[in-house]
């Protein structure tokens, strides 16, 4: 095999900050190399540097070379803008993470694909559109002709990503750079897209540079792996060698923190009182205030479930299945149409006004986005004690003491309470969100994708914290996630949701080992699996048990 791309001593700077330092790796023709790293590792900056789009994002290539081409390699780091325009979308193409925002919303998708073809292959618009139709066919878009004249908002996330791939492959590039192309997609869609990239690769012989943070995806698609951390190369290896004998400590820790399906869940709690009982809950949304009953769409459809004291119920399902609406209906943040919700023995559906308000202290919620769910203008001590103050559980004088005890409970330093949310990293903010929920000593916490936005090591720390709190305080959790491996780690029981209904519930190991419902089986088979690791004990011995000892990424200012 010949080397197609050779990155040598590449350094990338944003202002005076070095995002990547002296990175070197190769991609051979026809192979798939995965660049893996957590946020801030410089993996996306590397991809943009190869495309020379980094300047547009405010960065620059400070040093090093990017040799591209099988025979007469040219240095992209020194290429002119005109030369780069002939490379981009033609010899090197790129697919981005967010299919929702990566397509021009006011342009028909056919036109967007044709644009690249017209530019690089000099075809007329009509010819280019014919080519675009074929490109749609290659990426298995149903009804390609009709899709050409549709706008992005008319397509699902999976279809949009297929359009992106069709666009990237339209000029048959030698190298495809895929920057987290499946991160925003559901597991079943992710499995389809990975399968598609693999088959197109074997068909066209192109090389793929795959950027991801997901070890499972690496195991599915890559031949070789490049691990990065804080802008530096940590390890280069073949995928087989990496998963069986990772050299670098960081690689070992990364593998240990990666949740893997089938690793087992927590011990079952002692039988206790029922904290949450939901019966036949149904919620529907209309298109407007005066929408007739018939035009309402049922989002949650006759859901029944229960959670005992000290128990975690994991709720899994794909986006749009109604998980979040169910959570909001339980807490009456949206009004359910019918059904009953009982929390701590009180029938919430029968409560209103002050009595509902009083009841609310029994159940709290932790949201997905730790950046958006804390008011940036509120100091931590105010933010995390606000629920307690609303419920008059704490006087203004004692609020600070409460705040200190809460942050200590979630593993942060006492002096955190006088800081503001922007001074914390994502994982720390999620700890603060949990502290806020704890301030009213709730019986139930609903965590809606609470760790989905975090890096694996940080997510691991946050779920460990939840398990720890549960042990100590007998808390019950409704843990909502699309990531089944994470759910397995924290849940005693699992409920699988599909199209508004719970299709299967049961003990975690039962549902995952012997799923009864066909949808559950489909969902589970789509989850990317890590290759078996021979030396699992050795790995987990040092790191898995002590994930909280990981240094978290330092906040920008203290």
Partner 1 sequence: MLKYMTRAGLKIVITFLAIVTLAFAATRLSGDPINYIAGQGLTQADRDLLVTYYGLDRSILEQYLAFMGSFFDGEFGLSFVERRPVSVVIAERIWPSLQLLLASTALTLALAIPLGIVAAVWRKSWVGSAVMTLAFLFYAVPNFVLAVFMILVFSYWLNWLPVVGNGTWAHFLMPTIAMSGLLIAGLTRFTRNAMLDVLGQDFIRTARAKGLAETEVILRHGLRNASITILSVIGLQVASLAAAGSVVVESIFAWPGIGELLVRSAIQRDYPVLQFGVIAVSIAVLIINAVVDLAYTWADPRIRLGEA
**Alpha-carbon gap, residue 102 to 79, rounded angstroms:** 26
What minimum distance in Å lies between the beta carbon of 60 and partner 1? 14
Closer by beta carbon to partner 1, 154 or else 240: 154
Residue among 16 and 557 whose Cβ is closer to partner 1: 16
**Contact assessment for residue 305 and residue 495, using Cβ atoms and an 8 Å cutoff:** yes
Smaller CB distance to partner 1: residue 112 or 212?
A: 112
**461: which DSSP letter?**
H
**Strands 476-481, 312-316: pairing kind:** parallel
Taken in order 112, 118, 123, 125, is the CA torsion positive or negative?
A: positive
Q: Which residues pair with 321 in a beta bridge?
A: none
Question: Least distance in Å: CB of 133 to partner 1?
Answer: 18
Cβ 120 to partner 1 shortest distance, Å: 6
Task: Report the SS3 class of residue 35.
Answer: strand
CB nearer partner 1, residue 94 or residue 227: 94
Asked if residues 43 and 35 have their Cβ atoms less than 8 Å apart, the reply is yes
Give the shortest CB-19-to-partner 1 separation in angstroms. Answer: 17
DSSP state of 76: G
Q: Which residue lies nearer to partner 1 by CB, 94 or 484?
A: 94
What CA–CA distance (Å, rounded) separates 272 from 378?
Answer: 38
Tokens of 328: 């909001």
Q: Which is nearer to partner 1, 178 or 410 (CB)?
A: 178
CB of 151 to partner 1, least distance (A): 5
Question: By C-beta, is 87 or 469 nearer to partner 1?
Answer: 87
How many other C-beta atoms are found inside a 10 Å radius of the C-beta of residue 168?
26
Strand, helix or coil at 157?
A: helix
For 342, phi and psi rounded to 5 degrees? -120, 120
Select 85 or 127, whichever has its Cβ closest to partner 1: 85
**Least distance (Å) from partner 1 to the CB of residue 88?**
4
Give min distance, CB of 69 to partner 1, in A: 16
Report, in Å, the least distance between residue 206 CB and partner 1. Answer: 16
Residues in the chain: 558
Nearer to partner 1, 54 or 200 (CB): 54
Q: Which residues bind partner 1 (CB under 8 A)?
A: 51, 53, 56-57, 84-90, 93-94, 96, 98, 101-107, 115-116, 119-120, 151, 153-154, 164, 167, 287
- As measured in angstroms, the least distance from the Cβ of 94 to partner 1 is 4
HSE, side-chain direction, 13 A CA sphere, residue 29: 14
The rounded Cα 46 to chain-centroid distance in angstroms is 21
Buried b (16+ CB within 10 A) or exposed e, 466-499: bbebbeeeebbbbbbbbbbbbbbbbbbbbbbbbe
Q: Give the distance, in angstroms, between the CA of residue 229 and the centroid of all CA atoms in the same chain.
A: 19
Cβ 119 to partner 1 shortest distance, Å: 6
Q: Is there a contact between 173 and 200 (Cβ–Cβ < 8 Å)?
A: no
Which is closer to partner 1, CB of 96 or CB of 348? 96
- Asked if residue 454 lies in contact with residue 259, where contact means CB atoms within 8 angstroms, the answer is no
Nearest to 159 by CA among 113, 100, 221, 208: 100
Helices within 157-248 (DSSP H only) = 157-169, 187-204, 215-221, 239-244
Q: Is 411 helix (H, G, I), strand (E, B) or coil?
A: coil
CB of 195 to partner 1, least distance (A): 23
Residue among 41, 175, 172, 179 at smallest CA distance from 117 = 172
Closest distance of CB 474 from partner 1, Å: 45
The residue among 291 and 532 lying less far from partner 1, judged by its C-beta, is 291
What's the alpha-carbon Rg for the chain, to the nearest Å?
25
| Closest CB to partner 1 among residues 103, 453 | 103
């Amino acid at each position: 095999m010949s080397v197609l791309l050779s990155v040598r001593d590449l350094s990338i700077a944003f202002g005076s900050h070095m995002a990547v330092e002296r990175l070197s790796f190769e991609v051979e023709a026809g192979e798939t190399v995965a660049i893996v790293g957590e946020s801030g590792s410089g993996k996306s900056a590397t991809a943009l540097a190869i495309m020379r789009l980094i300047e547009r994002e405010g960065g620059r290539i400070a040093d090093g070379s990017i040799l591209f081409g099988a025979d007469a390699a040219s240095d992209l780091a020194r290429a002119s803008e005109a030369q780069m325009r002939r490379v981009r979308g033609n010899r090197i193409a790129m697919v981005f993470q967010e299919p929702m925002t990566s397509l021009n919303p006011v342009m028909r998708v056919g036109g967007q694909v044709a644009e690249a073809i017209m530019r690089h292959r000099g075809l007329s618009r009509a010819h280019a559109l014919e080519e675009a139709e074929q490109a749609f066919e290659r990426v298995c878009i149903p009804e390609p002709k009709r899709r050409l004249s549709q706008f992005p908002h008319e397509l699902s996330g999976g279809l949009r990503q297929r359009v992106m791939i069709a666009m990237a492959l339209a000029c048959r590039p030698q190298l495809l750079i895929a920057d987290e192309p499946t991160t925003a997609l559901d597991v079943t869609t992710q499995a389809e897209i990975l399968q598609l990239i693999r088959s197109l690769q074997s068909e066209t012989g192109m090389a793929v540079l795959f950027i991801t943070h997901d070890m499972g995806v690496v195991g599915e698609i890559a031949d070789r792996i490049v691990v990065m951390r804080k802008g530096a190369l940590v390890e280069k290896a073949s995928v087989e060698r990496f998963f069986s004998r990772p050299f670098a400590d960081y690689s070992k820790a990364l593998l240990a923190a990666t949740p893997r399906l089938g690793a087992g869940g927590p011990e079952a709690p002692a039988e206790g009182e029922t904290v949450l009982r939901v019966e036949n809950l149904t919620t529907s949304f209309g298109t407007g205030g005066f929408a007739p009953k018939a035009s309402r769409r049922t989002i949650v459809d006759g859901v029944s479930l229960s959670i005992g004291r000290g128990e975690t119920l994991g709720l899994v399902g794909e986006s749009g299945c109604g998980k979040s609406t169910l959570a909001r209906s339980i807490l009456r943040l949206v009004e359910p149409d019918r059904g009953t919700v009982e929390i701590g023995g009180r029938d919430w559906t029968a409560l209103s006004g002050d009595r509902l308000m009083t009841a609310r202290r029994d159940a709290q919620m932790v949201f997905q986005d730790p950046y958006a769910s804390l008011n940036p203008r509120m100091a931590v001590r105010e933010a995390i004690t606000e629920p307690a103050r609303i419920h008059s559980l704490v006087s203004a004088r004692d609020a600070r003491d409460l705040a200190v005890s809460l942050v200590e409970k979630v593993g942060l330093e006492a002096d955190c309470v006088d800081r503001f949310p922007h001074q914390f990293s994502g994982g720390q903010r999620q700890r603060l969100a949990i502290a806020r929920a704890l301030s009213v000593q709730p019986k139930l916490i609903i965590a809606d994708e609470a760790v989905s936005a975090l890096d694996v090591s940080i997510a691991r720390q946050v779920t460990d914290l939840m398990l720890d709190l549960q042990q100590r305080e007998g808390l019950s959790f409704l843990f909502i996630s699309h990531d089944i491996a994470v759910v397995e780690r924290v849940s005693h029981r699992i409920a699988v949701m599909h199209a508004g209904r719970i299709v299967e519930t049961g003990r975690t190991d039962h549902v995952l080992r012997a799923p009864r419902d066909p949808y559950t089986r489909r969902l589970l088979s789509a989850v990317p699996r890590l290759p078996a690791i021979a030396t699992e004990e050795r790995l987990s011995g040092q790191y898995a048990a002590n994930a909280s000892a990981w240094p978290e990424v330092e906040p920008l200012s203290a």
